[in-house]
Structure 1
Amino acid sequence: MSINKTRGWLYFIAKIIGDINAVNKGTVGKRIARRAAGKATGKALGKFFK
């Protein structure tokens, strides 16, 4: 297993743990909004710097 695959799995597990934590805290809406905003920003910057 390469280091990139290991890192990918670690990020995936961290995302799941963050989702569980948000459910426990009751802040799922904020997490979804922030994830969507980050994804939109990343796409916009990707097109801008292309």
Structure 2
Amino acid sequence: MSSINKIRKALYGTAKILGDVNAVQKGTVGKRIARKAAGKATGKMLNKLFK
């Protein structure tokens, strides 16, 4: 079971890096950073709401 989690973690990490590379190629790095920040803020608010 833990090997599946390791594979999943590796795949998500690779996807994250590929997304960053893709944003650099397209010139949309600022938009990606803004979306990441908005997602983090939303996650924190929801975490506090449902805690």
2:19 pairs with 1:14:
no
Which structure 1 segments of 5+ residues have no match? none
**Aligned equivalents of 1:22, 1:48: Cα separation in 2:** 32
Alignment correspondent of 1:48: 49
TM-score by length of 2: 0.91
TM-score by length of 1: 0.93
How many percent identity over aligned positions?
A: 74
The list of structure 1 runs, each at least 4 consecutive aligned residues, that deviate by more than 6 angstroms after superposition, is none
- How many residues matched? 50
Which structure 2 segments of 5+ residues have no match? none
Aligned residues: CA RMSD: 0.9
